[in-house]
Amino acid sequence: MVSRQAEARRERTCALIVVGNEILSGKVRDTNAYFAVRELRGIGVALKRIVVVADELKTIAEEVRHCAARFEIVITSGGVGPTHDDVTVEAVADAFGRELVTDPQLQRIVDRHFPARAEAVRLKMALVPQGAVLNVGGEIAYPVVQLENVYMLPGIPQLFEDKLRALKDRFATDPYFMRAMYVNAAESTIAGQLSACLERFPDLMLGSYPTIGDAQYRVKVTLESKDRAYVDAAFDHLIGLMPEGAVVKTE
């Protein structure tokens, strides 16, 4: 039986599927992935997979099917608008073997907020996979459509960010705690110390990131865990292993 403490520190996993030919062709620079990583990490969610796929129904459906079976949360970015290449909603329906249906609540929202758009456009914007639910929130009127563990967000960065912020509370779990040290030594010089620290603290998330051209330090080392006492103990242990004078700053 899992203890209550261990359950509270359970890691929630997430995958992000970025949809868009414009990303793959270099016409648009994706910023949604970077934003999602930072926002999700801040609420204790581990983004385990980021993939960019073309505006192709079967390709999107295959990726959604793969991720939905392996990760607790799946977020899609892009392809939820009214144009010919917006096929994410249909692809998610295909991934779960559902039909596309008109959602009456969504139809009312679309008619109220987008009255000037053509009827065919409004009809497409009101389609959802059968069994989907609407998540209303944020500054943008159009809700996030959710089917099972898949959340379909718009691709425009301002809209994506607004909707992800609105969903954060439902995703939040036990937070990560991080300590960092800045080392004025080559990464190869401290590789043995890092390995020794992991042997002592095998559940630690330990990272080392060399930098070039910084006069103050050569490697940033980060230690992360959902257990604050564990990461603090590992930090103290690693400090003790480092060559004398090598650590120039800690956080």
CATH number at residue 138: 3.40.980.10
Q: Say whether both 215 and 118 belong to one domain.
A: no
Do 49 and 78 lie in one domain? The reply is yes
Same structural domain, 142 and 200: no
Note the pLDDT of residue 9.
Answer: 60
Question: What is the residue whose two structure tokens read 């030594």?
Answer: 185
pLDDT for residue 8 = 44
Report helix, strand or coil for 79.
coil
- Full pLDDT tens readout for the chain, 251 residues: 333 344 446 779 999 999 999 999 999 999 999 999 999 999 999 999 999 999 999 999 999 999 999 999 999 999 998 888 899 999 999 999 999 999 999 999 998 888 777 888 888 999 999 999 999 999 988 999 999 999 999 999 999 999 999 999 999 999 999 999 999 999 999 999 999 999 999 999 999 999 998 889 999 999 999 999 999 999 999 999 999 999 999 99
Determine the 3-state secondary structure of 146 from DSSP: strand
- pTM beyond 0.85: the answer is yes
Could you give the CA distance from residue 173 to residue 198 in angstroms, rounded to a whole number?
Answer: 25
Distance CA 175, CA 12 (A): 10
In angstroms, the CA 17 to CA 40 distance is 14
The answer on 164 and 203 residing in a single domain is no
Residue ranges of alpha helices (H) inside 19-96 are: 21-24, 32-42, 57-68, 88-95
Q: What is the pLDDT of residue 66?
A: 98
Domain count, the chain: 2
pLDDT for 1 equals: 34
Q: Residue holding tokens 């648009």?
A: 28
Q: Which residue segment(s) compose the domain that 58 sits in?
A: 4-171
Instruction: Look at residues 171, 191, 211 and tell me which one is the last residue of a structural domain.
Output: 171
Beta strands 177-183 and 219-225: pairing type?
antiparallel
Domain boundary (137, 171, 205) is at 171
Domain end residue (candidates: 113, 146, 171) = 171
**For residue 120, what pLDDT is reported?**
83
3 φ, ψ to 5°?
A: -65, 160
Q: What does the alpha-carbon distance between residue 141 and residue 242 come to, in Å, rounded to a whole number?
A: 54
Predicted local confidence at residue 2, as pLDDT: 37
* 88 closest CA partner among 180, 21, 162, 29: 21
CA atoms within 13 A on the CB side of 49: 20
